[in-house]
Structure 1
Amino acid sequence: MKKLYFLLILVVANFGYAQIEDAWVYFNDKPSSATFLANPLTMLTQRSLDRRTAQNISLDITDVPVEQTYITQITAATGITVMAKSKWLNALHIRGTQADIQALTALSFVNNVKFANHSLNPGGRISQNANKIQAVNKNLDAQVTYNYGGSQNQIEMLNGHLLHQQNFTGQGKIIAVLDAGFPGVNTAAPFQNLITNNKILGGYNFPDANTNYFSRNNHGTNVLSTMGGFVEGQLVGTAPNSQYYLFITEDVNSENPVEESYWVEAAELADYYGVDVINSSLGYLNYDNTNYSYQYDDMIGNKTFASRGVNMAFSKGIVVVISAGNSGATVEPHIATPGDAIGALTIGAVNSTEVYASFSSIGPSFDGRVKPDVCAKGAGTTVSSPTGTIYTSNGTSFSSPVIAGMIATFWSAVPTLTAQQVVNFVKQSADNYNAPTNQKGYGIPDFQLALNNALGLEPIEPNQSFLVYPNPAENQITFQLEKKQKGIVYLYDVLGQNILIKEISENNNVIDIQNLSNGVYYYNFESDKAFKGKIIKK
């Protein structure tokens, strides 16, 4: 009997050793880095390089692709399937047996492997009871037919309508949406403004490894509609004139860490294309294999694969907007990853009266940082279905893109800001900035206040004789000069296009702007002294 018992243990142990696992294999180096860094257009588009230049961000080895010879050798290794890759983290997401994965450490270029199954890693923890924590609800819906003007409240709550009135609607900015699918975007009426004006620039379907991104789950369609949707009198997105890339990274049929790897790979592709903002209404805490699941003490901002990807994206000059999650009313109410990321602008949910929505995941992060960062309407948010039906839905899935669209709209008004400055101005404009809470973080942003604060970056010195007034102005602006001073004024729009050149002097110092569209403009005054600034046409 003892021999039979020992044999049973041996069989069970071998079975565990032979079952398929997910893991990441990390490499030591990038042997081709010098060649790529000397030829940056081989790894990034000009728009991506321009974004870095504008924000004074240098290229480095993380911009270099994963060494192709390493990918080839890992792909050819016994029992290994390559699922995804990340140049930022210099790693591949792989599947195979524990034995086959561990065998990769014998390769000279492999630094280490990390199993998604925490118990297989050195010092790994024992998995938690699968019933202890409820699964993260990424798409908490309560649909109600809403026939007229439903998006007004979600935009006015943020004073976004004031920016729209100034003709800021996200133009010149690109948003990447990382989600579960976008069926109907190419056919439904609320998205025809995007389709007709070629504002959908492309995308990729990572689970199916193809370019059919107008497919799969409708969650991404709902999300996109809060930013780019447009049906006059029913739904106006927060950034209807931004451009968009659509990436499917989520497989709703299962929960597996490969979705984190898809997420990071999509963020890298978004960076390659030069996007300005990423919205992701996704979160990860529990997986089908509970050995892969996270706990609250993992939410420290830079531990998970996805949170490290967010931090890298932000370091490249991209504002990364992440939903906090919908676990606020569960036994584990805290934010999921990558909402814990240090570089994430994490968004909670409130209702139409700005009261905290009980389903919205709370903070702080485990290491004590304010999370969520800010809030927007996520209870009763107006969205579009794949067929064009306008209705309301609940979830931080929708408060996140409402903010992401406003970020693009705000940034289109002050395009010279860095990603860090954008995030700072948005946080500082929020109503709880001086007394953040675990439920609402810094509170609800005021994007008009953020814009006013941003325009004050270059204040006129009190004793300075050069002055531009009134500002804002409706019909004309006056340049106050020193006696006998004269020079040339160059006026530029938010895209940097020169729209006016005029010579002015002490007695000829008025410029007519009544025919200009409402919005922000930039002036350069060139004389023996040079001045730069911004004016608002209202």
Structure 2
Amino acid sequence: MRLLFASLLGLCLLSSTLSAQKETTETGMYFIGFSDKKDTPHTLEDPSTYLSEKALIRRALHDSQVNEMDLPVSPAYVTAIAETGAKIWLTTKWMNGVVVAAAGPQVEDIRKLSFVEKTELVAPVQYDRPSARPVIPNMDRPAPELEPVPVRKNLYGYGWKNLDQMEGDSLHMWGFRGEGVLVAVFDGGFPYVNYKDFLGYPDASMVPASYDVVEQDSTAYDSGTHGATVLSTMAAYHPFFFIGTAPDARYILFKTENGKGEHRLEEINYVAALEIADSIGVDVVNSSLGYTTFGIKEMNYTKKDLDGKTSPASIAIDHAFERGMIIVTSAGNSGNDKWKYISTPADAKHAFSIGALNSDGSRAYFSSFGPTADGRIKPDVSALGVDVTAITASGRGITKANGTSLASPLVAGLIACLRQAVPGATNQELLDAIRQTANQADEPDNERGYGRPDFAAAYRLLMMSRK
């Protein structure tokens, strides 16, 4: 997985140079796929045991029925896997399986189990954890209570440019700043976010919940600065210094990026985070991440894999969309590279993929090109991605950053505001309105998609269509 800042920032993680491992003799991380969900204690008739009330309300709006994919995996199968001596690392109900840390002989024993359909090496072992099973922390945290203030240009400080290029200031002026909307952010770590002044919360206890999917032994408030910078463009609230595009939204932070190397396991981390986000009722996800090449070259994607049906993360995005969520993701920073094209999961049919623009509206030189392998237009829209103002990871200063990583959260934050503004609209209706009112909606292309959004126009279109 790559964090999608432009390379000139020097913030991308170095790819691992680990050679391919022989899975029969060396310890590795393996995905184990199950044949069914036999003997799960949960039922379709009572989804309240695995889906929150907020998740069920969101699904009802989208007429999304709970189905077998939503059921947690069979605990009997998980126990049988653990009895081989393998350590259970992750469980995933949408992929119906587990990730384990196991040696070759254990993998052979696992393959002999009658319910096992698939075993696949997804990464070398790079972390350890004291617990035998993954432990997911409590995600139910209180919403921040920010003192309402009038919308004025000088109030936003360095954040004004990020907002007004897409007419987001109009949404804020009309009272829509993301209140009541739950946003998840997938990234590589969020240092200093638990310091109360980072997001402008009046008390540190109001800091968003988080989950380190990668290491599972700490919060997500560590590792690289990428996630903190991305988050600040949406969530920061420092009147007269910097206000983000959705300061009133609630944020759940997921560390899914492995700082020790690039491997397919990160895609399964992504799936697991999406499942949790769905279950707690997340409305909008921002992921400034992408997958193309890995430390084990046999895992690399080719351009024909950009079909929305190959990457587990891309497939999971479509599952999340069917359940009423909106997944906003960076298109990629390979426009000036040999690869040139978007990365996964921006290729997903229902991923809202964001390209990067210069301040004059032209495509930033690094912004990746579409289309997908099956000919769909990508990116969907594009936003400012050059000299984007953000809060430094320490929370105490301003930085300028480049990349589709920055364009994506600017859009995601304003989608949260639009979700608040038109709560009865479906995710498809919201995204269609954004495309239809963007500045090159009549002639979309594979450089900028439908162009730069106009969120005030999208709101008006949605309201007119609902009369």
TM-score where L is the length of structure 2: 0.84
State the superposition RMSD in angstroms.
Answer: 2.2
Q: Which residue of 2 aligns with 1:383?
A: 390
Q: State the one-letter code of the partner of 1:432.
A: Q
**Amino acid paired to 1:392:** K
Structure 1 gaps of 5+ residues are 1-12, 118-147, 460-538
Among 408, 417, 429, the residue aligned to 1:400: 408
- In the alignment, which of 56, 76, 87 is matched to residue 69 of structure 1? 76
* 1:22 CA drift (Å): 4.3
- Alignment CA distance shift 1:16-1:449 (3 Å): closer
Corresponding residue to 1:457 among 455, 462, 465:
465
> Alpha-carbon deviation of 1:314?
1.0
Whether 1:101 and 2:140 are equivalent positions in the alignment is no
Q: 1:182 to 1:72 in 2, by over 3 A?
A: same
Shift of 1:97: 5.2
Q: Residue 345 of structure 2 aligns with which residue?
A: 338
Instruction: Give the letter aligned to residue 402 of structure 1.
Output: L
- CA gap of 1:16–1:216, structure 2 versus 1, over 3 A, is closer
Q: How far apart, in 1, do the equivalents of 2:237 and 2:70 lie? A: 36
Q: Match of 1:106, as an amino acid?
A: K
Q: Distance in 2 between matches of 1:310 and 1:277?
A: 11
Question: Which residue of structure 2 aligns with residue 424 of structure 1?
Answer: 432
Q: In the TM superposition, what is the alpha-carbon distance from 1:194 to its structure 2 partner?
A: 7.4
2-structure distance, mates of 1:205, 1:247:
6
Q: Determine the C-alpha separation between the residues in 1 that align with 2:181 and 2:45.
A: 28
Structure 1 14/340 Cα, relative in aligned 2: closer, same or farther at 3 Å?
Answer: closer
1:84 counterpart (79, 86, 90) = 90
Query: Structure 1 residue aligned with 2:189, among 181, 188, 192?
Result: 181
Within the candidate set 202, 206, 212, 2:213 is matched to 206
Change beyond 3 A, Cα 1:411–1:105: same
Counterpart amino acid of residue 112 in structure 2: A
Higher relative contact order (CA 8 A, sep 6+): 2
**In 1: Cα distance, 2:368 partner to 2:105 partner:** 38
Structure 1 residues 358 and 17: alpha-carbon distance in aligned structure 2, compared to 1, 3 A threshold: same
Residue in 2 that maps onto 1:292:
299
One-letter amino acid matched to 2:97: A
Q: Is the 8 A contact 2:382 2:407 kept in 1?
A: yes
Once the two structures are overlaid, the 10-residue window that deviates more, 92-101 or 312-321, is 92-101
Structure 2: how far apart are the matches of 1:55 and 1:15?
45
Correspondence for 2:172 among 161, 164, 169: 164
Cα distance between partner residues in 2 of 1:195 and 1:28: 47
Match of 1:434 in 2: 442
| Aligned CA distance change for structure 1 residues 15 and 231 (closer, same or farther; 3 Å) | closer
Decide whether the 8 Å contact of 1:205 with 1:213 is kept in 2. yes
Could you say if the C-alpha distance between residues 95 and 293 of structure 1 is closer, same or farther in structure 2, counting changes exceeding 3 Å? farther
> Partners of 1:100 and 1:367 in 2: how far apart?
39
Shift of 1:307: 0.9
Closer, same or farther in 2 for the Cα pair 1:294/1:116, shift >3 Å? farther
Q: Secondary structure at the match of 1:189?
A: coil
Following TM superposition, by how much is the alpha carbon of 1:377 offset from its aligned partner in structure 2, in angstroms?
0.9
**Structure 2: runs of 5 or more not aligned:** 1-19, 124-155
Q: CA deviation at 1:234?
A: 3.2
SS of equivalent residue, structure 1 residue 191: coil
Whether the 8 Å CA contact 1:169–1:409 is kept in 2: the answer is yes
Task: Note the 1:493-508 alignment, pairs <5 A.
Answer: none
Residue-by-residue CA offset, 1:398-438 (whole Å, 9 max, x unaligned) = 11111110000011000011111111111112112221121
1:256-335 correspondence to structure 2 within 5 Å: 256-335=263-342
Instruction: Report if the CA contact (8 A) 2:192-2:198 is conserved.
Output: no
**Offset, 1:98:** 5.9
Q: Percent identity?
A: 35
Quote how far apart the aligned CAs of 1:111 are: 2.3
Query: CA-to-partner distance for each residue in 1:14-73, whole Å, 9 max, x for gaps?
Result: 967423454422211112458422221111111111111122111111111011111121
Q: Residue 36 of structure 1 aligns to a residue in which SS?
A: coil
Aligned mates of 1:317, 1:331 — CA distance in 2? 36
1:363-409: CA deviation from partner (whole Å, max 9, x where unpaired): 11111111111111111111111222111101111111111100000
Q: Is the CA contact (8 Å cut-off) linking 1:36 and 1:43 kept in structure 2?
A: no
TM-aligned CA distance change 1:190 to 1:73, over 3 Å = same
Structure 1 contact 172–242 (Cα < 8 Å) conserved? yes
Number of aligned pairs?
415
C-alpha deviation, 1:267, in angstroms: 1.0
Contact (CA 8 Å) 1:66, 1:87: kept in 2 or not? yes
Distance in 2 (CA, whole Å) between partners of 1:344 and 1:35 is 30
User: Rg bigger for which structure?
Assistant: 1
**Structure 2 counterpart of 1:444:** 452
Letter matched to residue 160 of structure 1:
G
Contact 2:24 2:107 in 1 (8 A): no
Superposition map of 1:245-264 within 5 A: 245-264=252-271
Cα separation, partners in 2 of 1:14 and 1:266, compared to 1, 3 Å: closer
Q: Aligned in 2, Cα 1:194/1:386: closer, same or farther, shift over 3 Å?
A: farther
CA distance in 2, matches of 1:278, 1:155: 19
Aligned 8 A contact 1:45 1:274 in 2: yes
Aligned to 2:223: 216
| Pair 1:15–1:320, CA change in 2 (3 A) | closer
- Shift in Å at residue 186 of structure 1? 2.0
SS of the equivalent of 1:204 reads strand
Given that 1:82 and 1:92 are in contact with CA atoms closer than 8 Å, whether structure 2 keeps it comes out as yes
2:229 equivalent to 1:229: no
C-alpha distance in 2 between matches for 1:342 and 1:116: 24
- Check conservation: 1:234, 1:390, Cα contact below 8 A: no
The farther-off stretch of 152-161 and 186-195 is 186-195
> Aligned in 2, Cα 1:311/1:99: closer, same or farther, shift over 3 Å?
farther
Q: 1:103 to 1:57 in 2, by over 3 A?
A: same
- CA 1:195/1:183 → structure 2, altered by over 3 Å: closer, same or farther? farther
TM-score with structure 1 setting the length: 0.73
Structure 2 residue corresponding to 1:193, chosen from 192, 196, 201: 201
Displacement of 1:101: 3.3
